[in-house]
Amino acid sequence: MTLANLEIGATAKVKKVFQKGAISKRLMEMGIVPGVSIEVIKAAPFGDPIEIRVRGYNLAMRRNEAESIEITR
Amino acid sequence: MRDSTNTKSGSERFAQNAPELLVALAGNPNAGKTTLFNALTGLRQKTANYSGVTVERKEGVWKVGEDVLKLIDLPGLYSLDATSLDEKIAREVLMGKLSDLPKPDAIIAVVDATNLERNLYLVTQLLEFGIPVVVALTMVDLAEKQNLEIDPQKLTELLKIPVIPIKTRRKGGTEELALKALEAAKSREKPDVSWIPSGSDVQEDFEEDIHLSLSADEAANKQIFARYNFISDIYQQSVNAVDEKEAKFSEKIDRVLTHKFFGLVILIAVLLLVFQTIFTWATLPMDLLDSGFGSLGDFVGSQMAEGMLKDLLVDGVISGVGGVLVFLPQILLLFLFISILEDTGYMARAAFLLDKLMSRVGLHGKAFLPLMSSFACAIPGIMATRTIENRRDRLATILIAPFMSCSARLPVYALMIATFFAGQTVFGFISLGAVLMLAMYALGIFVAVIVAFVLKKTILKSPPPPFVMELPPYRLPNFRTVMQNMFTRGWLFIKRAGTVILAISIILWALMYFPRHEPSDSIISYQTANNVGRNNSQPDDQHLKSKRLEKSYAGMLGRTIEPAIKPLGFDWKIGVAIIASFAAREVLVSTLGIIYSVGDDATEESPTLISEIRNATNADGSQVWTPLTALSLMVFFVLAMQCASTLAIVRRKQILGAGLYLCFHI
């Protein structure tokens, strides 16, 4: 299951960040590393991007990016 | 682009106290870096650009007792791995790679107490440059409000570098920061980095169900992982967080501002308000500037002896540069709004709301801001594209920015509408003029969308750009930061555009001035008129000016390009006006004024110019201007013509678009 599938309001733990060009590194630099918990806050008007909360701050990312984050409940 | 702006005297004065210590200020975006920089340097600062790129370079002088430190404010960073332009520059500064800047003697790491973990990650990277680091812990009072109790002593102990809490109000903590920074800069002691995990031993530490993907960047990712784990430890030991499930203030605001429906409605309302204000508030100072430059021209004209130099100064330099500087109030107001929207955190929300729409044409949500700025002027718009990390996305945005109808094109539309479509209505009650005006803006946007789409499918093809953007907490805008942003950007605009505009004004003036052709029977009236001043010109004189323009190089050029623009319904006179408007779009109006012998002070509302345009005839007696011609000219201005200043900044083959357009019209 990836972060893109997580419903709004739900919280999950990051299991793995897939290598997908430079983006996985950027995501990890922003603190999205295995073991951290992420909450999905909301989706933008057209369903994309999504807003998440991680390590006490809010981050927006496209579903495309969210797909590279594998999560576990 | 390296000259100082407002504090040249300041830095020169302090330069004598060499050797000067250099301290770099580094931190995440929104960590309060700018506020701290302002608090430390006061007014002793200057802003320029790093050579060749549009990244702001802010330097200041920081007095600590007897000592003087030079402070350089690096761009906001999440990491130092050089994926964005800002990060690349910051890295080069810290490595001492810039030719005109020594390697810093110390780094002040600005760390947002409300966002400790991610901010500390950057600190672990800053420590690797072999330069002493002092942490300035900002937003401490804000953290307290969020029930986060941070122990700076414990942090100092764990990080093995000084951590100084800074209160937002009353400069709390800056004195201690000054002492520690000075001490660090003088010691040049390399920080102890032995405690920072390398990540090489990560594999064994993994829990069973947690893996990192294995690939080329494996080592780098392992290192990030190890550092964050380590930071989590530090966080646990030094922060006492009272866990509360209650939604934060920002999230409450966001329930409305990024609401699926109301969010968009509010965004549109905000934009309308901004533009409405720009166009109404700016009118008065713009008129003042306009008449100011007019009087300056008259004054210089009356003080100088007749001759080429006077004509160059008055008609070339003053009216040319003045013609563009008139737009400064609008541009400053636009920058003011942008600064406020950025400083409050709303700009990121706007990008969040619009990203889906922008990504459909292959653009980034962040492209929204530059494109919006371009409605006032493409130059600040292009300057604002630097926040877009991907080079191809940035280029695509730069290339389509000029399609947004800038405010200088407004007088052109207004003249055409006043001349041919005034008083007409659609469905009996909507003014045709308003509809046309709106249509011109819409056309620009429409074409921009298509061009962006085509560009992203062809020469600027790249995978969908990654979109990862922080949504910072809402904050009240800091008056000083907002004002400073507005003025430094305004100044950069003047410098960037000013130099080019000056050169272009002189070239265009020369084109319209030479070769000097004096019809002998008009010399007397020409001289009297010039003595009287330009506003009281006699009709004879106007006629002479018109004749002279016809015989000038510009006139010849107009005739040369006539075959090319004929299909658009333009004759050579319009051609001349189009050439002249290369300096600034609205110059078309005053040039038409000269050509039709109305006077160069004609405006888009001047009745004589309107009737002259209506009555102008070709050699065979047919009308030069038809409503179709007017429409064609308006569309031409939407699509094909950019001003020289914009072109100088774009410096790319935008003309492609113009060529395409020529084929497609009529």
Position B165 scores a pLDDT of: 92
- The nearest CA of chain A is from the CA of B414 a distance in Å of 36
A31:B355 CB<8 A = no
Element (H, E) at B190: none
Strand partners, A39: A11, A53
Share of chain B above pLDDT 90, in %: 10
CATH, residue A67: 2.30.30.90
Nearest to B117 by CA among A63, A60, A35: A35
Q: In sequence order, what are the residues at sequence separation of 6 or more whose Cβ sits closer than 8 angstroms to the Cβ of residue B54? A: B382, B383, B385, B386
Main-chain phi, psi angles of B434, to 5 degrees: -60, -40
Q: Which of A62, A63, A64 to mutate to test the interface with B (most CBs of B within 10 A)?
A: A62
Compute the average pLDDT of residues B533-537.
Answer: 44
Compute the average pLDDT of residues B391-418.
Answer: 81
Compute the average pLDDT of residues B204-212.
Answer: 44
pLDDT tens-digit readout, B496-512 = 666 766 777 777 778 87
CB within 8 Å of chain A, chain B residues 449-478: 463-464, 466-473
B116:A51 CB<8 A = no
Q: What is the dihedral of CA B405, B411, B417, B419, to 10 degrees?
A: -150
pLDDT at B62 over 50: yes
- Give chain B positions within 8 Å (CB) of A25: 81, 83, 217, 220-221, 224
CA dist B214 → B182, B217, B289, B570 (Å): 44, 8, 63, 65
A25:B217 CB<8 A = yes
Instruction: Report the number of distinct structural domains present in chain A.
Output: 1
- The nearest CA of chain A is from the CA of B85 a distance in Å of 14
pLDDT at B387 over 90: no
- Give chain A positions within 8 Å (CB) of B118: 30-31, 55, 57
CA–CA separation, B90 and B122 (whole Å): 12
Q: Which amino acid, one-letter code, is at B329?
A: P
Average pLDDT taken over every residue of chain B? 77
Q: In sequence order, what are the residues at sequence separation of 6 or more whose Cβ sits closer than 8 angstroms to the Cβ of residue B582? A: B504, B508, B641, B643, B644
A28:B469 CB<8 A = no
- The nearest CA of chain B is from the CA of A7 a distance in Å of 16
Position B539 scores a pLDDT of: 54
Enter the CATH code of domain B8-241: 3.40.50.300
B466:A65 CB<8 A = yes
Considering only alpha carbons, which residue of chain A is nearest residue B353? Answer: A44
B467:A45 CB<8 A = no
CA R_g for chain B: 29
pLDDT range class, residue B19, cuts 50, 70, 90: low
pTM of the model: 0.77
pLDDT range class, residue B205, cuts 50, 70, 90: very low
Strand partners, A6: none
Query: Could you give the angle at which helices B283-303 and B262-281 cross, rounded to 10 degrees?
Result: 30
Instruction: Give the 3-state secondary structure of B478-536.
Output: CHHHHHHHHHHHHHHHHHHHHHHHHHHHHHHHHHHHCCCCCCHHHHHHHHHHHHHCHHH
Which phi-psi region, left, alpha or beta, contains residue B161 (left: φ > 0; alpha: ψ -120 to 50)?
Answer: beta
Least confident range of B286-290, B542-546, B547-551, B637-641:
B542-546
Position B8 scores a pLDDT of: 41
- The nearest CA of chain A is from the CA of B251 a distance in Å of 9
CA–CA separation, B493 and B381 (whole Å): 10
Q: In sequence order, what are the residues at sequence separation of 6 or more whose Cβ sits closer than 8 angstroms to the Cβ of residue A11? A: A37, A38, A39, A40
Please state whether beta strands B21-27 and A69-72 pair in parallel, antiparallel, or not at all (unpaired).
unpaired
CA dist B506 → B1, B320, B428 (Å): 22, 8, 48
Instruction: Please work out, in degrees rounded to the nearest 5, the angle formed at the alpha carbon of residue B123 by the alpha carbons of B119 and B127.
Output: 175
B596-602 contact pairs (CB < 8 A, 24+): B596/B546, B597/B539, B597/B542, B597/B543, B597/B545, B597/B546, B598/B542, B599/B534, B599/B537, B599/B542, B600/B319, B600/B534, B600/B545, B601/B294, B601/B534, B601/B535
pLDDT tens-digit readout, B139-177 = 888 888 888 888 999 999 999 999 999 886 666 788 888
- B49 touching chain A per CB within 8 A: no
- Give chain B positions within 8 Å (CB) of A60: 348, 351-352, 355, 467-471
- The nearest CA of chain A is from the CA of B357 a distance in Å of 8
pLDDT at B206 over 50: no
Is the Cβ–Cβ distance between B364 and B467 less than 8 Å? Answer: yes
Residue in B261, B264, B468 nearest the CB of A30: B468
- B277 touching chain A per CB within 8 A: no
Strand partners, B469: A60
Position B122 scores a pLDDT of: 95
Higher pLDDT, B338 or B51: B338
Position B23 scores a pLDDT of: 93
CA dist B489 → B196, B485, B549 (Å): 39, 6, 37
B257 C-beta neighbours (distance < 10 Å), count: 20
Position B203 scores a pLDDT of: 52
3-state secondary structure of B425: strand
- The nearest CA of chain B is from the CA of A48 a distance in Å of 6
DSSP B209: T
In this prediction, the residues of chain A whose per-residue pLDDT falls under 50 are: none
- Give chain B positions within 8 Å (CB) of A34: 206, 210-212, 225
Least confident range of B485-499, B559-573, B637-651:
B637-651
CA–CA separation, B598 and B588 (whole Å): 13
How many beta-carbon pairs under 8 angstroms link A with B? 146
Q: What is the dihedral of CA A57, A58, A59, A63, to 10 degrees?
A: 130
Which range of B221-235, B421-435, B582-596 scores highest in mean pLDDT? It is B221-235
Considering only alpha carbons, which residue of chain A is nearest residue B146? Answer: A56
pLDDT range class, residue B468, cuts 50, 70, 90: confident
Considering only alpha carbons, which residue of chain A is nearest residue B259? Answer: A45
Strand partners, B73: B25, B58
Tokens linked to B324? 């563009």
CA–CA separation, B176 and B528 (whole Å): 72
For chain B, which residues make up each domain, given as ranges? 8-241, 262-410+422-457, 494-526+537-664
Compute the average pLDDT of residues B525-542.
Answer: 48
- The nearest CA of chain B is from the CA of A36 a distance in Å of 9
Residue in B78, B225, B351 nearest the CB of A33: B225
Domain of A35 in residue numbering reads as 3-72
Compute the average pLDDT of residues B230-258.
Answer: 80
pLDDT range class, residue B450, cuts 50, 70, 90: confident
pLDDT tens-digit readout, B175-199 = 888 888 888 888 877 887 777 777 6
Peptide bond into A49 cis (omega under 30): yes
Nearest to B327 by CA among B283, B373, B370: B283
